[in-house]
A = this chain, B = another copy of it.
């Protein structure tokens, strides 16, 4: 199985680049951090940094292009890591995620395309946002393996009515959340394990069947992105902030020009590891 032979971030990125890995990155290169990607015209960069600072749970900003137009070198926003340690030289965010989305004037133009080299310009800035796949290895080690990881499926992701704090052009946005089902008695341990990954969405934002109503989720079996959850009974949904949130915020903000992003679940796998960021 190709997935098992991928054990480093670089291997995951190269497999994505050359088309040998094309699906969800859940479980890929265990122990390595993964990142959401959003690529914006430079005039929106300042407002986007403010959006992240004000909404760090769904939008934990971990790095950005070292300069405008730079797709292969990054400045870190994490205390303990440099840009090169997050994403080593030779990487290229335009090709190193398995699949991409392209938005034009805030409308989806391409879905699940293989790369965005043609769309990239000298005016673009790429932002890396922490991803909850990063704490899944720790959950496995704690005996709390997420179901979709075991089954090789993509995590279900939902639109919610939970409001983001407005930031410049980014207004009217709401949280996107990922969901993993757990037994009620395991939720406190799940919270403890994931709390230590503060820059990777951290602990759940909410949980339990009441949370479905509080978050304004219409149909738990019909996620907006990812694969539907398979109900095994006796479990409750547990929701985390999700790095698809910025893509939704872009759609609502009416941005002009071309915006690119990873396809939900199809992340950039990083060179940095769990132990580099756990608190």
Contacts and interface: CB of A to CB of B under 8 A. Distances in A.
Contacts of A222: none
Interface string A232-273: 000000000100000000000000000000000000000000
B165 A241 contact: yes
A54 B56 contact: yes
Contacts of A166: 191, 203-206
A163 B54 contact: no
Nearest to A168: B195
A228 interface: no
Contacts of A206: 163, 166
A6 interface: no
A125 interface: no
Contacts of A53: 56, 198
Interface in A200-225: 202-206, 214-215
Given A57-B165, A166-B191, A166-B203, 19 more contacts: A50-B195, A50-B198, A50-B202, A53-B56, A53-B198, A54-B56, A54-B57, A162-B162, A162-B163, A163-B205, A163-B215, A165-B202, A166-B204, A166-B205, A166-B206, A167-B195, A167-B203, A168-B191, A168-B203
Interface of A: 50, 53-54, 56-57, 162-163, 165-168, 191, 195, 198, 202-206, 214-215, 241
